Amino acid sequence: MNIEAGTSYGTTPDALLSQITPDEVVAVHALLATRAEQLRALPADGTGRTRDAQIRALREAADRVREAARECGYSDRTVELAVRCTRRHFAR
């Protein structure tokens, strides 16, 4: 990813995103997207705003990493297959 370390994009610290290697982008996207889905599926516990902020941050990070995956030449199909595999893994 061509991101200047130390800058921010919304709530996602680009310094962290810049540490993801091209070999890791698909797996990282799948993990972030799956975690956001898991949080969204949990029943509300009175901390809805906090949870919503966490989901938003995870989705934003997942979207940024998905964009990086495209830049690295990964197809949307490859990324979606990784998300499906990750969902199945954590559903056990």
Measured between alpha carbons, how far is 49 from 34 in angstroms, rounded to an integer? 20
- Single out the residue of 91, 37, 87 nearest to residue 62, CA to CA: 37
Residue 91: the pLDDT is 86
Helix (H) or strand (E) holding 68: helix 48-71
Average pLDDT on 55-71 reads: 92
pLDDT, one tens digit per residue, over 7-60 is 444 555 677 778 899 999 999 999 999 999 998 888 777 766 788 888 999 999
Whether residue 64 has pLDDT greater than 80:
yes
Query: CA 34 → CA 8, 55, 71, distances in Å?
Result: 23, 10, 21
Residue 12: the pLDDT is 54
Provide DSSP, 24-37. THHHHHHHHHHHHH
Residue 11: the pLDDT is 52
Whether residue 2 has pLDDT greater than 70:
no
Residue 1: the pLDDT is 46
